[in-house]
Amino acid sequence: MNARVQDFLAEQLATRPEAPALSDPSGAAWSYADLDRARVALAAELRSAGVQAGDRVLLMVENCVSAVAGLYAAWELNAVAIPVNARQTEAEVTRIIDHATPAAVLLTCDVSPEAAAHAARLNAREIAGDFGSLHLATPLPSSPDADLHDVAVLLYTTGTTGDPKGVMLTHSNLRFGARASADLRQMLPGDVVYGVLPMTHVFGLVSVLMAAVSAGAKVRQESRFSAAKLHAATHEDVTILPAVPQMHALVMQYSREGGMAKLASPTLRYVSSGGAPLDPAWKRKAEAFYELPLQNGFGMTETCSGASATTNALGSPDTSVGPVTPGTECKIDDQAPGGNGAGEGEVLVRGPHVMKGYYRNPTETDKAIDAEGWLHTGDLGKLDENGRLHILGRSKELIIHGGFNVYPPEVEAALNDHPRVVQSAVVGRRREGDEEVLAFVQVAPGDEVTAEELRSFVKERLTGYKRPSQIIVATDLPAAPTGKILKHRLLTAFADQLA
């Protein structure tokens, strides 16, 4: 059998089994040997529940040591792990279960009230052992899929129709992505990585967790972001901080409110920002606060996290997303929609980090990956004379809010379910270090519906980070003669109503 991602754990067990591997806010502190014992015990539970090789195991979790054990337990059985944020709504989770047909669902109820609510609906039972405490449900019978023999995880995004798409990342994808991230950060045994980025998303899963295990570092898991906790952790043991701009902004605000202009961490040596473009002024402010260079990069779920990254010195004016990572290829298709025919166009990448495809969706897979293996990212960019990639925009309209992917069709579908909504359009608007979700809703003349009513309506259909920060209600939206909403005109057309 080819190398598996769990082989990184085996390497640590062979050389330094008692070295620290994981901790979380419950007080749990696991060595690599502890993680291995947890993996074996939880795999036995899954096996008893009927899970076989080729099955799917849904992990409805928030960051904690038991959630990590769930990954390795699934891989021990040659099953596929599906990490899903427990804060997703019942409707969102149901769509994923219907598509992936998992043989088992593991839930981290101890750290997530939302997971506990899902567990009750799924009639999950509590299990406990060397892996801590989890809840286990078996909503569907075992249904092994031989086509998943090399797949480690399915990470769900939302397609252009609002339907879920399961990105198949192989063991080879994860191994390549983990080592690329570890090498980029020069991660070593003894490093402590702050693990607040959700392991249910590719950034937290690959660039944090898998990278740390590959290097023999420790991950300090946090289930929910708190500026106070982050500040404290950087004054205790954290050496590597990967985060999204919103997190950096909040810890800077927390420090200012405490009368501290700089972080002054005695341990921190590496800081990176991902999930959103860097504004030059904001970058300078962050670097002055950390007294360290703020590195940036470009990646997506389909590229197993990073496809390019910077290694800049402190004070560098560079706001690119860096050169491509070693072993990765990148080119610009300036003839694609949105291209200018002169070096600016769609970003295409190729390499060992590119996904296998979308699960049970060959049509979308063929649209994304061409016959030569190039992934068409849907992002617009250019390469400068030094080979650094600059991202110019998103042709697919993806919004990245707080480091999470927000797909407008999914938000629009939730709004359009309201009986008095004719149609809606959702766009992103840049804010300092982040993007906010804005919704424009058309109702029929004479119909009355308030923004607050719509906000309450979508609350049951969308998890928090997908909900619009502002909803504009109108009887008319800018449209082409065909009736298609002209999204690029919305911000201008309603400028006087936007906060």
- C-alpha span between 339 and 346 (Å, rounded): 7
State which of 394, 423, 441 marks the end of a domain: 394
pLDDT over 70 (residue 1): no
Pairing relation of β-strands 240-243 and 270-273?
A: parallel
169, 29: one domain = yes
Query: Are 290 and 314 a contacting pair, CB within 8 Å?
Result: no
Residue with the two structure tokens 């596929």: 80
Run of H or E including 101: none
94, 136: one domain = yes
- C-alpha span between 470 and 451 (Å, rounded): 8
CATH number, domain with residue 462: 3.30.300.30
293, 360: one domain = yes
238, 294: one domain = yes
What are the pLDDT digits (tens) for 221-278?
Answer: 999 989 999 999 999 999 999 998 778 878 988 898 899 999 999 999 999 988 666 6
Identify the bridge partners of residue 473 per DSSP, sorted by sequence position. Answer: 441
pLDDT at 479: 76
pLDDT over 90 (residue 448): no
CATH number, domain with residue 348: 3.40.50.12780
How many C-beta atoms lie closer than 10 Å to residue 11's C-beta?
A: 14
Q: Has residue 278 been placed in a domain?
A: yes
State which of 177, 200, 215 marks the end of a domain: 177
Question: Domain of 13?
Answer: 7-177
- C-alpha span between 17 and 89 (Å, rounded): 39
Q: Has residue 239 been placed in a domain?
A: yes
Stretch 81-85: mean pLDDT = 96
14, 143: one domain = yes
Q: What's the structural domain count of the chain? A: 3
State which of 338, 363, 394 marks the end of a domain: 394
Q: Has residue 205 been placed in a domain?
A: no
Query: Are 302 and 177 a contacting pair, CB within 8 Å?
Result: no
- C-alpha span between 219 and 191 (Å, rounded): 9
Beta carbons within 8 Å of 174's beta carbon, 6+ residues apart: 5, 152, 153, 206, 210, 304
Q: Has residue 325 been placed in a domain?
A: yes
Provide the b/e sequence for 87-120 (b: ≥16 CB within 10 Å).
bbbeebbebbbebbbbbbbbbbbbbbebbbebbe
What are the pLDDT digits (tens) for 142-193?
Answer: 999 999 999 999 999 865 456 789 999 999 999 999 999 999 999 999 999 9
Chain-wide mean pLDDT for the chain? 92
Stretch 383-407: mean pLDDT = 82
384, 403: one domain = no
pLDDT at 481: 44
405, 332: one domain = no
- C-alpha span between 199 and 330 (Å, rounded): 27
Q: Per the structure block, which two tokens stand in for 148?
A: 């998943």
pLDDT at 159: 54
385, 404: one domain = no
pLDDT over 80 (residue 379): yes
Query: Are 388 and 382 a contacting pair, CB within 8 Å?
Result: no
Q: How far is CA 176 from CA 214, 290, 327, 355, in A?
A: 10, 29, 9, 11
CATH number, domain with residue 111: 3.40.50.980
Q: Has residue 258 been placed in a domain?
A: yes
Stretch 388-403: mean pLDDT = 79
Q: Has residue 191 been placed in a domain?
A: no
What are the pLDDT digits (tens) for 315-369?
Answer: 999 989 999 999 999 999 999 876 778 898 899 999 999 999 999 999 999 999 9
127, 59: one domain = yes
Q: Has residue 443 been placed in a domain?
A: yes
- C-alpha span between 309 and 266 (Å, rounded): 25
326, 259: one domain = yes
User: CA nearest 182: which of 218, 214, 152?
Assistant: 214
Q: Has residue 214 been placed in a domain?
A: no
274, 384: one domain = yes
* CA R_g for the chain: 22
311, 251: one domain = yes
Q: How far is CA 196 from CA 162, 227, 229, 453, in A?
A: 27, 11, 10, 33
